[in-house]
Amino acid sequence: MNIKSEQEMLEFGRDFAKDLTRPAVIELVGDVGAGKTTFVRGLAQGLGIKEAVTSPSFTISKSYALPDGGRLVHYDFYRLPEPGLMEDDLIENINDAENIIVIEWGESIADVLPKEHIKIEIKYTEEGREIIK
Ligand code: ADP
Ligand code: MG
């Protein structure tokens, strides 16, 4: 699927929210600037979250209350090659079936992700971005 602009990525995220059943663990794969966080912004909008979603690259995780209970928990492990206690936090949040978990740069915690988790890959193309599922 071709995504030509930031707006289209937000729309893709909003659409993705409509079909999402819980519990959900989504791994986002793509280079720096590919649009992973932009996708999460759209996803949050589609889930009815009013708060602005910003990158958790410095805080490692950010979490937002979902209107009907549970939380959207957004992780970015880019700056944390040794996940340590953050791995325990992630496992706890994955184990709450009301939550939706989204992870950027999840290589270091790959072994704690459920085998059937959703993986979305975003690639740069000449026209924008390509979504590979
Ligand atoms: P990541 O989280 O993957 O590092 P971000 O979502 O933070 O990436 O940043 C993506 C940047 O690329 C944003 O500044 C966005 O405006 C820009 N951009 C340009 N074209 C696109 C596109 N087709 N899809 C997503 N983002 C795009
Ligand atoms: Mg990001």
pLDDT in tens, 74-102: 999 999 989 999 999 999 999 999 999 99
Q: How far apart are CA 129 and CA 5, in angstroms?
A: 8
Which ligand neighbours the alpha carbon of 31 most closely? 1
Under a CB-based contact definition with an 8 Å cutoff, are residues 109 and 100 in contact? no
Q: What homologous superfamily is domain 2-132 in, according to CATH?
A: P-loop containing nucleotide triphosphate hydrolases (3.40.50.300)
Query: pTM of the entire structure?
Result: 0.98
CA of 88 to the centre of ligand 2 (A): 21
| Nearest-CA residue for atom 18 of ligand 1 | 6
pLDDT of residue 25: 98
Buried b (16+ CB within 10 A) or exposed e, 96-119: eeebbbbbbbbebbeeebeeebbe
CA of 126 to the centre of ligand 1 (A): 14
Residues of the chain with confidence (pLDDT) below 70: none
pLDDT of residue 81: 86
Ligand 1 pocket, 10 CB below 6 A?
no
pLDDT of residue 129: 98
What the block records as the tokens of 5 is: 């602009």
